[in-house]
Structure 1
Amino acid sequence: MTEETITAQAVSIDRAVAALPGPFQQSLLAQVNDTVVKVARLEGEFPWHHHDEDELFLCWDGTFRIELEGRTPVILDAGDIYVVPRGIRHRPVADTPAHVVLVERPETKQYGN
């Protein structure tokens, strides 16, 4: 790692969350090896979709559920982590605003494959 690639400052997740423009908008926080770390605001129902790779959800604040096709929904509260396995159709649903930290590959499409 060269000096140019070292971040000069820490990234505030709270400030990144506060700057999000609206529901389901994402903001890139960092790149780590072959993954990226993003934050997003969840509010309402996201469309059903799937990915060809696993997707990690960390509930930053609030509460939301991840509905999984043919499976029991997973409810996440602040501090909870859940990994949606690749290929599983899913959608996050938040009855009230919540924020999530996502860890995924840079090429992962928000609306799935």
Structure 2
Amino acid sequence: MESDVRNVSAALDLISEHWQPHRLTSINDYDVKVVKLQGEFVWHTHPDTDELFLVRSGRLTIQLRDRDVELGPDDVFVVPAGVEHCPRADEEVSALLFEPKGTVNTGDAGGDRTADLQEL
């Protein structure tokens, strides 16, 4: 069991690449990931799990097929399981993601933006 204190801001300072989530810690069967985002990601779904976005800084748009969801600092949004979405950050965003262990960032889309989860 992990018992070390982790600092979110310090962890985000270590990240230099966009769209490459890093595991900050885990709780039960979930990973808490830190990530920096910029530009448009890929349209994808996570068929078996919800995905929680918590924006720390910047403005993030979660594009859904029927609407856009705009998030600013300290905003939280949950993309329900199976809902196709495409995150977009016109300027750099720092965020936390809460997902079950083993969740792939590109979901069912795969491709060259699929990240190997890195540890901090």
TM-score by length of 1: 0.91
Residue 64 (1) aligns with residue 75 (2): no
Alpha-carbon separation, structure 2, partners of 1:93 and 1:14: 21
Alpha-carbon separation, structure 2, partners of 1:58 and 1:44: 17
- Structure 1 segments, 4+ long, off by >4 Å, are none
1:17 and 1:73, CA in 2 relative to 1: closer, same or farther beyond 3 A? same
Q: Cα deviations across residues 32-57 of structure 1 (Å, max 9, x unaligned)?
A: 01111001101000011100210000
Q: Which runs of 5+ in 2 are unaligned?
A: 109-120
Residue 32 (1) aligns with residue 39 (2): no
Alpha-carbon separation, structure 2, partners of 1:73 and 1:54: 17
- Taking every aligned residue pair, what percent have the same amino acid on both sides? 36
After superposition, residues 15-94 of structure 1 pair within 5 angstroms as 15-52=10-47, 53-69=49-65, 71-94=66-89
TM-score by length of 2: 0.86
Letter in 2 for 1:55: E
Note the aligned Cα RMSD (angstroms): 0.9
Letter in 2 for 1:51: H
Q: CA deviation at 1:13?
A: 0.6
Q: Cα deviations across residues 52-100 of structure 1 (Å, max 9, x unaligned)?
A: 210000001111110012x110000000000001111101100000111
Name the larger-Rg structure.
1
